[in-house]
């Protein structure tokens, strides 16, 4: 009898462990989820025996069978925006008078799926961007497009949980190699997930798309239709750094130890930070995206990825955007791997890095440290991106630092450290998540500080001409606690 009771107990324990394992592996932020990013999808890096895509002469010919009213279209984004396919989609939608043809994507280059000068396209197509660029901000404000607020790490979950089921994915790929394998080129991000879950794949096969190693491998036989193309990718031009941005870069460099692993975005602030790291040693890259700013540091050996805890010796990212020099650098470069964002932006993966330094920016910050990074008041300006992913992961990393860096004023002289955020502004980074803040006037660690203490530190980082007004608001808000 005793043996029977023990056996029952062991079976209960086994069931409990099995359930616990299932729960852990399916949790969106778990390491197991990051390592099983392709579950429930179609494996696209295998040969589809006996199948070959339709080779089309026009984008309209390639897309017409897959477009319908109330349908869903995924569009490859960033530097990989497939402009010929997107224009073909617009032409088919208008010719067939489609309605509510929804498109889902991150930031698109070019005129976008409903150009501002094409009201007929807006009657047919309804964009659902997860990151809003300049070509859709007006349309979001007028209600012709609808933004989706979401962390970058969670984007593939839209497919895995069947919340988004694309009828067709418009992809921009490198030419097949001798074995028939293409790559997703400059943008793997969540395009890999879209390719695995879309009912049909239409590819723009571009002779000038770099072949990039990592998670973006797709066999040519997996495409349903292809359009061959030979044209340059979208170029992101860099701007000359201002004196304020250079000082921001210097303050960030002081927070970066030798051997650190870096995450940075695109723009003047990350470029300024990278420009000041020339005397550092053995830095690594684990990021969601990078641009030309890393190239001088790689060429000089400052970035060699030798101290990373994962993928040692390799630069890891989800997508890239920059100049032709950058695209030439990543082409068939085994030291660069582009991965699914479910891996690159997984908080546990980030926290496991060697001295993870996450460098991000925001639009404005109030005196308590909460940051609006995606809106200007009620106006949608961009999106969540991976800011919270990397600030959270870097803060949890041993010797890691999560940094929000920005000039104390805009180029038009508008203060960016303010008593309170604009009405209806969306908070991306909360006051509980904030750690290091950097402006041209210095840096401060807000973690563990009281609200009045934070106010004092942030006032010191503000523009000198804004400090008197900020102090008045701080005294009014925190009373005698603010000294």
DSSP 265: -
Q: How far apart are the first and last CA of the chain?
A: 73
- In sequence order, the β-bridge partners of residue 283 are 303
DSSP per-residue letters across 20-83: HHHHHHH-TTSHHHHHTTTTTS---SS--TT---EEESSHHHHHGGG--TT-EEEE--BTT--H
Asked whether 236 and 79 are in contact (CB, 8 A), the reply is: yes
Q: Using CA atoms, how far apart are residues 185 and 81, in angstroms rounded to an integer?
A: 11
**Among residues 277, 317, 314, which one has the least CA distance to residue 293?**
277
**Positive or negative: CA dihedral 307, 308, 314, 315:** negative
Residue 288 a catalytic site member = yes
Contacts of 338 (CB under 8 A, 6+ apart): 184, 186, 187, 188, 212, 213, 214, 215, 216, 317, 318, 319, 320, 330
Catalytic residue (choose from 288, 364, 440, 453) = 288
Asked whether 335 and 29 are in contact (CB, 8 A), the reply is: no
Q: Using CA atoms, how far apart are residues 389 and 371, in angstroms rounded to an integer?
A: 15
The torsion defined by the Cα of 148, 154, 157 and 159, in degrees rounded to 10, comes to 50
Q: Which residues are catalytic?
A: 288
């Amino acid at each position: 009898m005793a043996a029977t009771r023990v056996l029952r107990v062991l079976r209960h324990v086994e069931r409990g462990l099995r359930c616990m394992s299932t729960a852990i592996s399916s949790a969106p932020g778990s390491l197991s989820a990051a390592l099983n990013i392709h579950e429930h999808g179609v494996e696209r890096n295998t040969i589809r025996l006996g199948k070959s895509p339709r080779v089309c002469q026009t984008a309209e010919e390639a897309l017409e069978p897959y477009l319908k009213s109330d349908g869903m279209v995924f569009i490859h984004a960033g530097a990989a925006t497939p402009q010929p396919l997107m224009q073909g989609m617009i032409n088919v939608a208008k010719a067939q008078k489609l309605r509510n043809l929804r498109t889902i994507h991150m930031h698109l280059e070019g005129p976008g799926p409903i150009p501002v000068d094409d009201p007929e396209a807006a009657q047919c197509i309804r964009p659902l961007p997860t990151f809003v660029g300049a070509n859709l901000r007006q349309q979001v404000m007028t209600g012709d497009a609808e933004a989706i607020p979401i962390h970058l790490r969670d984007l593939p979950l839209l497919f895995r949980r069947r919340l988004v089921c694309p009828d067709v994915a418009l992809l921009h790929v490198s030419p097949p190699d001798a074995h028939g394998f293409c790559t997703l080129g400059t943008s793997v991000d969540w395009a890999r997930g879209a390719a695995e879950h879309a009912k049909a794949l239409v590819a723009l096969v571009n002779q000038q798309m770099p072949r990039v190693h990592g998670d973006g491998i797709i066999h040519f036989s997996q495409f349903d239709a292809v359009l061959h193309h030979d044209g340059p990718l979208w170029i992101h031009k860099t701007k000359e750094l201002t004196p304020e941005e250079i000082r921001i870069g210097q303050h960030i460099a002081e927070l970066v130890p030798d051997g650190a692993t870096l995450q940075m975005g695109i723009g003047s602030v990350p470029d300024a930070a990278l420009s000041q790291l020339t005397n550092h040693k053995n830095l690594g890259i684990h990021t969601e995206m990078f641009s030309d700013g890393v190239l001088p540091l790689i060429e000089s050996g400052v970035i060699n990825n030798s101290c990373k805890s994962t993928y040692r010796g390799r630069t890891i990212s989800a997508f890239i955007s920059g100049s032709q020099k950058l695209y030439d650098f990543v082409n068939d470069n085994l030291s660069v791997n582009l991965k699914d964002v479910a891996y690159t932006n997984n908080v546990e993966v980030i926290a496991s890095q060697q001295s993870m330094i996450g460098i991000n920016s925001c639009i404005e910050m109030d005196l308590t440290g909460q940051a609006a990074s995606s809106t200007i008041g009620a106006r949608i300006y961009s999106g969540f991106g991976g800011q919270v992913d990397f600030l959270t992961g870097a803060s949890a990393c041993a010797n890691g630092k999560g940094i929000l860096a920005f000039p104390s004023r805009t180029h038009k002289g508008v203060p960016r450290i303010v008593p309170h955020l604009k009405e209806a502004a969306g908070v991306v980074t909360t006051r509980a998540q904030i750690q290091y803040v950097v402006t041209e006037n210095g840096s401060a660690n807000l973690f563990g500080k009281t609200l009045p203490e934070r106010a004092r530190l942030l006032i010191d980082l503000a523009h000198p001409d804004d400090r008197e007004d900020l102090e008045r608001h701080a005294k009014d808000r925190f009373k005698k606690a603010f000294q």
